[in-house]
Amino acid sequence: MISDFHPAWLPVEAFRALGSRRVQVRGEGLLLDTVRTEVAAACRRFGGAPADTGLCDVSFAVSSQADLAPEEFTYARGEGVTVVRAADPAGLLHGFFHVVRQGERAFAGDFDERHAPALPIRLVSHWDNVDVHPVMGQVERGYAGGSIFWSAGRLREDLSRVRAYARLLAAGGINAVAINNVNVHEAEAQLLTDRIGEVAALAEQFRAYGIRVHLSVTFAAPIALGGLPTADPLDERVRAWWAQATQTVYARIPDFGGYVVKADSEGQPGPSAYARSHADGANLLAEALAPFGGVVHWRAFVYNHRQDWRDRSTDRARAAYDHFTPLDGRFAPNVILQVKHGPMDFQVREPVSPLLGAMPSTPVAVEVQATQEYTGQQRHVCYLGPMWSEVLRFPFARPVAGLVQGMVTVANVGDDPFWTGHPLAQANLYAAARLGWNPALDPLALLDEWIALTFPGHDPALREALRAIMDESWQAYERYTAPLGVGFMVRPGHHYGPDVDGYEYTPWGTYHFADRDGIGVDRTRATGTGFTGQYPSPWRDAYESLADCPDELLLFFHHVPYAHVLRNGATVVQHIYDTHFAGVERVEAMILRWQQVSGLVDEAVAARIAERLAEQLRSAEEWRDQVNAYFYRKSGVPDARGRRIY
């Protein structure tokens, strides 16, 4: 398939190795047809041949005898033939893209491997609106243009971009997508009923690549859509309404994945209005979905967003754990508790959410944000693979990846020609998809994989430069923004650019408590909010202790004087100055590096990257100067190196 859209990590060239060979495909069904179509297109392009009979160089076969789990495939080579086998068509599709990713390596030497996804749930969550929201626009927190699904209140007529997108997601190992915003407004609510045809049309595009569609629904649907006087989860009429509505959904979309629900969060309705628990609410929907094999993703992003900043006893970081741990074991088996990776809200540095390690009797999925709401909004290069890898490897009793059933990635794509606004932001979606399949993958190796696929055959100098620019770009962003894990300091509302006190006296619960003497949030058990107590050993003690708390999270857990000496030897205030200067220098270095190689890529890509880097530098300087000036003025401590602070 050759599409008109930016090929991202599936350029034509990526199919050369496969497409120049004799390729056999055995098995029936939609996904096998997809593989056959892919093979035929690649062979037409590169001179190979589909080989249904006779000799072949590579064989893809679904075989029911194979002792393989769902989605698993074997990948072996001997006697000059590469063989991919799976027990189900989904496994074969994954095996097909594995061969594409391997390129010539798939046809050299002998090997015998098995590949299975570590996490069965690998969902990309869109925050797309049907109607353009007056504040949030077509895509909430979207930085890549309009929605690829809807435009100005209507489903797009031409869904070929959706098909191309499904193909990209499948090539990374994604198997599920939620098509609309978790904040469900009036028009979006109707997708469940009157507008289910739009969901069905999108499901048709995704189905061809083995991706099941999920829908975000409002908990108040029985009232808003059903005309009932209540949405009480224990009310028989409400149960019957959901059962009927869900049955109708499955009549249209037999492979429908399930619902995503943001309830009792940031103004969305939920079971608390009826004095019912989150378990009551989630189980209501789970019951309706169970007969069809559907699941409900129930989000744990629940906190008081109308907090009084004067009240020092309320701590937003505590909220998800406090709400949900008492309910462990009370959720139906087809409820997936969807937990943001940190206890706050996708900040550049947060500890891992303690809730991820505290729900042994509940299926849990970890939620990460590819859309760069708080990490530069796809104007800044910020490769997040290393952050997510740290989360997935974080050792509770077992690593997080061994505790969760799934990984949910908030999408970063739109109708932008490069899909993601910043062309290099594609790497985040790719890395998230691949980490969901195998959380043990090295994020730097994944970056190399993405670069090699996206820029095949290019000068090695280009690949090295991209690696140099993107590797540790997360840490670069961290250096010039909010320091030492304290978070936020962004402009309220749109969340781009610095505003140190922007959220300080607001109801959102995101404070840094800087005064003339010091900064940070005391979350200790001894003198603070007690949040450290939500962690098991050894973390509860490591975070509690000023001496043992990692520097990068110091201000998340402790309020300290500016003269406090970090483990790296600098005082807090000097560290703030140093990192803010260093962060900007790093962006300057990125720009120089890009200038050396930009002539090696397509002009439009080069221009877009150059434009974004210039904005990144402007913004980084703004962050540096505001943050440094703020702390210089508060503390009165001059920079030990005498650099210019305003």
The reply to whether 141 sits near ligand GCV by the rule CB under 6 A is yes
- Say which amino acid occupies 192: L
End-to-end CA distance of the chain: 56
Q: How far apart are CA 50 and CA 58, in angstroms?
A: 10
Task: Verify whether residue 345 is a known catalytic residue.
Answer: yes
> Is 257 within 8 Å of 302 (Cβ atoms)?
no
Which CA distances in Å does 17 have to 10, 32, 39, 105?
13, 20, 11, 9
**CB 313, min distance to ligand GCV, A:** 22
* Contact window for ligand GCV (CB under 6 A) among 111-119, 178-186, 320-328, 460-468: 178-186
Identity of the residue, 34 or 510, whose beta carbon is nearer to ligand GCV in the bound complex: 510
CA 484 to chain centre: 23
Q: How far apart are CA 132 and CA 182, in angstroms?
A: 15
**CB 210, min distance to ligand GCV, A:** 27
Q: Given 3-state DSSP classes, what are the helix, strand and coil percentages for the chain, each rounded to the nearest 5?
A: 40, 15, 45
The reply to whether 388 sits near ligand GCV by the rule CB under 6 A is no
Site for ligand GCV in 275-334 (CB under 6 A): 301
**CB 395, min distance to ligand GCV, A:** 26
Catalytic residue among 198, 264, 373, 522: 373
CB burial of residue 308 (10 Å; 0-12, 13-18, 19+): exposed
**CB 512, min distance to ligand GCV, A:** 18
The reply to whether 150 sits near ligand GCV by the rule CB under 6 A is no
The reply to whether 122 sits near ligand GCV by the rule CB under 6 A is no
Identity of the residue, 294 or 509, whose beta carbon is nearer to ligand GCV in the bound complex: 509
Which CA distances in Å does 139 have to 142, 184, 315, 529, 561?
5, 12, 29, 35, 41
Which CA distances in Å does 211 have to 86, 170, 245, 361, 474?
17, 7, 22, 27, 30
**CB 325, min distance to ligand GCV, A:** 20
Identity of the residue, 57 or 373, whose beta carbon is nearer to ligand GCV in the bound complex: 373
**CB 297, min distance to ligand GCV, A:** 12
Catalytic residue among 104, 266, 464, 602: 266
**x-or-dash string of contact with ligand GCV, 233-262, rule CB under 6 A:** -----------------------------x
The reply to whether 182 sits near ligand GCV by the rule CB under 6 A is yes
**CB 418, min distance to ligand GCV, A:** 23
Identity of the residue, 127 or 331, whose beta carbon is nearer to ligand GCV in the bound complex: 127
Q: How far apart are CA 271 and CA 269, in angstroms?
A: 7
Residue among 9, 88, 136, 135 nearest 446 (CA): 9
Q: Which residues does 39 contact at the CB level (< 8 Å), separation at least 6? A: 18, 19, 23, 25, 50, 60, 96
Q: How far apart are CA 474 and CA 470, in angstroms?
A: 8
* Contact window for ligand GCV (CB under 6 A) among 154-162, 166-174, 175-183, 483-491: 175-183
The reply to whether 127 sits near ligand GCV by the rule CB under 6 A is yes
Catalytic residue among 345, 478, 522, 552: 345
CA 243 to chain centre: 31
Considering CB under 6 A, how many residues would be counted as binding ligand GCV?
10
* Contact window for ligand GCV (CB under 6 A) among 181-189, 221-229, 496-504, 563-571: 181-189
**CB 127, min distance to ligand GCV, A:** 5
Task: Verify whether residue 28 is a known catalytic residue.
Answer: no
* Contact window for ligand GCV (CB under 6 A) among 92-100, 176-184, 272-280, 391-399: 176-184
Q: How far apart are CA 633 and CA 619, in angstroms?
A: 21
Identity of the residue, 140 or 315, whose beta carbon is nearer to ligand GCV in the bound complex: 140
Identity of the residue, 216 or 571, whose beta carbon is nearer to ligand GCV in the bound complex: 216
Copy the structure tokens of residue 241.
């309404």
**CB 261, min distance to ligand GCV, A:** 11
Identity of the residue, 18 or 370, whose beta carbon is nearer to ligand GCV in the bound complex: 370
The reply to whether 350 sits near ligand GCV by the rule CB under 6 A is no
Site for ligand GCV in 413-442 (CB under 6 A): none
Q: Of 88, 232, 345, 552, which lies in the binding site for ligand GCV, with binding defined by CB under 6 A?
A: 345
Q: How far apart are CA 464 and CA 73, in angstroms?
A: 32
Identity of the residue, 183 or 524, whose beta carbon is nearer to ligand GCV in the bound complex: 183
The reply to whether 183 sits near ligand GCV by the rule CB under 6 A is yes
Task: Verify whether residue 373 is a known catalytic residue.
Answer: yes
> Is 180 within 8 Å of 148 (Cβ atoms)?
no
> Is 84 within 8 Å of 23 (Cβ atoms)?
no
CA 209 to chain centre: 20
> Is 89 within 8 Å of 375 (Cβ atoms)?
no
Site for ligand GCV in 363-382 (CB under 6 A): 373
* Contact window for ligand GCV (CB under 6 A) among 62-70, 180-188, 411-419, 459-467: 180-188
* Contact window for ligand GCV (CB under 6 A) among 179-187, 196-204, 246-254, 357-365: 179-187
Identity of the residue, 347 or 420, whose beta carbon is nearer to ligand GCV in the bound complex: 347
DSSP string, 617-646: HHHHHHHHHHHHHHHHHHH-PPPTT-----
The b/e string for 614-637 (b: 16+ C-beta within 10 A; e otherwise) is eebbebbbebbbbbbebbbebbeb
- Say which amino acid occupies 221: A
Identity of the residue, 127 or 577, whose beta carbon is nearer to ligand GCV in the bound complex: 127
Binding site for ligand GCV (CB under 6 A): 127, 140-141, 181-183, 262, 301, 345, 373
Q: Give catalytic residue positions.
A: 266, 345, 373
